[in-house]
A and B are shown apart, each in its own frame.
Chain A
Amino acid sequence: MNKQTRWLLQEIDRWNDERVISSEQANQLRRRYADKPGTPWSLIVFATAGAVVFGLGTILLIAYNWDDIPKFGKLGLIFGAVVASHTVALWFWRRGQRILGECIAVLGTMFYGAGIWLVAQVYHIDEHYPTGFLLWALGALAFAWVFQSVQHGLVAVVLLTIWGASEDFAFAAASATAPLLVALGGGVLAWRRRSALLLAVTLAAVEVLLSAATFESGTGALAAGNSLAFGVLLIALARLTATRGPDFAGRSRACAVLGYIIIVGFCYLLSFESLAREMLRWSEIEGPHRFAVLTTHGTLLLFALAAWIALSFAVIRKKLRLHPEEWLLPIAVIYALGIARTPGYDVTWYLSSCFNLILLGIALMRMWRGCREAAIGDTVFGSLLFAALIIARYFDLFHSLASRGSAFLVLGGVLLAEAILFRKSRRGAGPMEAAS
């Protein structure tokens, strides 16, 4: 039972004793917040990490390529390891020890991957190496779906990302297959298993693959535009699903966190004028993947637009609330793509100013809200972003020591004021806030 739930259950007992709530209401609340059967995270995390590291160690050990072990000896060892680990995994699984079974199956899948590279080594195969990662990923993905296994899902998503990125960077063979396979294979499983971790890793993988594919086949402006659109889409989805109940909370948070990382990351890069000039340089998409690249771009924009329209309706109908600074996020996408398509954009002085203002708006609003509501997360996020912005401009905006000094005085003053306000709000919030 986690700390918050334990506190809440104690409080429910107190409210019931003090007749703040009725016994029936207290029971309803207890049922609602009572812990579900505990997930043995320590077993999952350590056993999976152990299996993955053991498998990687096997690959490196095999890479030494001992002359003393005959060819069939090496093959027998790795085939035997695959068979043994999957047999043990299935045995545990059948006995009802599913998590332990899944972890051992991860080890088997790592041996399977090691086997692919061992066979390639034994037979001196120097073919299209991303195919090795694809075969390995499909093996992991199949187990992920059969076992409904988050661990296998994570392994599969990482391997599919390596496969897609290798195809993009080493062979200039960008395609929509890798992000689609990751989104369907990992994303749907994450949704079914309600795994925020798998969802976050899947969404990050989709972002990496989309950026790699777009950058390889298209332009920097398209890659930046796609990433920003993907970021705002994630935040819209996070806000739309956050009110659907506690089951969605983890996944919504994963979407929101990743969306903010993408948007803030890209806006920060674009806040540097020289970088913005390079990244927003638009050139016509050419080459064999033109249609796929443009279709992906259009689809992302369309989804992002649809999600924000739905979000706007929900806000207008007062079904949910949106923080004021979040309206700045779609503006970043519109501005980035709009300015990229403007002829002669790169000589304008205001190229990066919009991104500076967006970041400043997000930082100040987060700091303000954090102080007012005594929310430590908002306060820290806003403060760090504000400090990062000041430090960035220290190098490219303020040229005299006087202005640089003043900027730091402002930063120091704002942080000091924030600390006082936050403390005041925290005191005003009372013991419940303190307990949480």
Chain B
Amino acid sequence: MRFRLAVLVAILQLAVLVFMAGEREWILRYGQPLVIRVAPLDPTDPMRGEYAHLETELSPVYRAQWGAGLVRLFDESDHRTVVFGGRLRDIRVYATVEAGPDGRFQATSLDTQPPAKGLFIRGRTNSVYAGSAEVRYGIEAMFVQQGKAGQLEQTRRTQYAGVPLDLEIAVGHDGLAVLRGYHWESLGITVTTEQTKDRPARLSGLTITLTNHGSSDLAIVDRPGAGSFRMVPNRPRWINPDTESSHFEWVGAGLAMEPVTAPDIIVLHPGGAHSTHMNLLDSRWFVVDRRAKDAKPGSLGNFNAWQANFRIEYDPALTPNDRTLPNGNLVAPAKLRSRPIIGGGID
């Protein structure tokens, strides 16, 4: 009897391993494939070795996207459940995801119960704040051979500077997400700064370069006067942009982009690049401190505060009609953001 029980325990141990591997293998083969954007780092886990930490765009999820269950749970919790600065740590949640115009998936809602319909990913909360929920989906680590995580980061800084990394995942029917792999996007954005010659030197202009890192032709849209670019405040991800205004804002934030004309569409061959100049001393690119009394717009270089922190966003902003323009079909629809620029230079 005891021998049979021992055999049973050995089989159970093996079954646990087979189930863990089998469930994920099944999802990899038959699950719904998705692509999401990430930003890598390179930590190490003592049990599983070196891994690239992949912070996805599926987190944070802002309160406006919370379902009734999560709102109720948060509102019923109080300061007594605060742990590590946030509430409701490690609560099981389900994020409904939908593909954006560029085919990459974004979280559209988050709740404590899976949605009745639609594609969803299950995760756990890291922390829930009044305005946003930090969620991990179990796909935030890509385990690699020792030394490879550092190489990935190095590649991101050098060979693929300014190129977003896309994460390929597969999702099972119960929302379990499994990491399949990653790939670099084709288009990258880099920025170099210019300074005034007076002392102390101030930031005076930017040269923005879009590079095709892919293996086939693609097109970009460059409206006159760097009109395809915006300055967007670079704020901590947990601050809800819908409810909290920025400290510093670009004066042109509310303006619509000019319509695209045929000469604005520029084809980049593989390895090709196109640069645009942005004169920050031009009032068009001024920024304003919204929290200052008698706030007056000024050049970014005039503000010596860490909050004067912006990213340059490239937005092709094509309408369906624009696609009919010459090479319009080659334009990648995705927006791109540069590394942060703080009053004085590149961070």
Query: Which residues of A does B touch, CB under 8 Å?
Result: 59, 62-67, 75, 78-79, 82-83, 86-87, 89-90, 93-94, 105, 108-109, 112, 115-117, 119-129, 132, 135, 139, 142-143, 146-147, 171-173, 286-288
Contact = CB atoms under 8 A, between A and B. Distances in A.
A124 B7 contact: no
Nearest to B45: A63
B294 to A, nearest CB: 46
A139 B3 contact: no
B9 A143 contact: yes
Given A126-B139, A142-B13, 19 more contacts: A64-B49, A82-B17, A86-B10, A86-B13, A116-B17, A119-B17, A119-B24, A120-B143, A123-B28, A124-B141, A125-B138, A126-B138, A127-B138, A129-B47, A132-B47, A139-B12, A139-B16, A171-B89, A172-B83
Contact of B145 (A67, A75, A126): A67
A66 B13 contact: no
A172 B17 contact: no
A287 B140 contact: no
B47 A123 contact: no
23 contacts: A59-B47, A62-B49, A63-B48, A63-B146, A65-B49, A65-B144, A67-B148, A94-B3, A105-B10, A109-B13, A117-B47, A119-B17, A120-B47, A120-B48, A123-B179, A128-B90, A139-B9, A139-B12, A142-B9, A142-B12, A143-B6, A147-B2, A172-B89
A127 B124 contact: yes
B14 A83 contact: yes
A135 B67 CA distance: 32
A123 B178 contact: yes
Nearest to B124: A128
Interface in B119-147: 124, 136, 138-146
Contacts of B17: 78-79, 82, 112, 115-116, 119
B50 interface: yes
A352 B107 CA distance: 56
A172 B84 contact: yes
B199 interface: no
A216 to B, nearest CB: 9
Contacts of B14: 79, 82-83, 86, 112
B24 A123 contact: yes
Given A126-B139, A287-B81, A146 B6 contact: yes
B20 interface: yes
A172 B10 CA distance: 33
B3 A63 contact: no
Nearest to B78: A286
B18 interface: yes
- Please report whether the interface of chain A is mostly helix, strand, loop or mixed according to DSSP: helix
B236 interface: no
Q: Give the one of B10, B18, B28, B145 with max A CB within 10 A.
A: B10
B46 interface: yes
Contacts of A79: 14, 17-18
B255 interface: no
Interface in B41-86: 45-51, 80-81, 83-84
A82 B13 CA distance: 8
A328 to B, nearest CB: 38
Sorted nearest first, the 3 A-B pairs with minimum C-beta distance are A63-B49, A126-B141, A86-B10
B90 A173 contact: yes
Interface string B313-346: 0000000000000000000000000000000000
Q: Give the one of B3, B21, B141 with max A CB within 10 A.
A: B21
Interface in B166-209: 178-179
B274 to A, nearest CB: 36
B295 interface: no
A128 B139 CA distance: 11
A128 to B, nearest CB: 6
Nearest to A139: B13
B5 interface: yes
Contacts of A135: 16
A105 B139 CA distance: 33
Contacts of B18: 79
Given A143-B6, A147-B6, A125 B24 contact: yes
A310 B289 CA distance: 74
Nearest to A111: B13
A129 B48 CA distance: 11
Contacts of A139: 9, 12-13, 16
Contact of B143 (A94, A121, A147): A121
Nearest to B10: A86
A65 B44 CA distance: 12
B49 A121 contact: yes
Interface string B1-41: 01101110110111011101100110010000000000000
Nearest to A123: B24
A117 B48 contact: yes
A390 to B, nearest CB: 41
A119 B46 CA distance: 15
Nearest to A83: B14
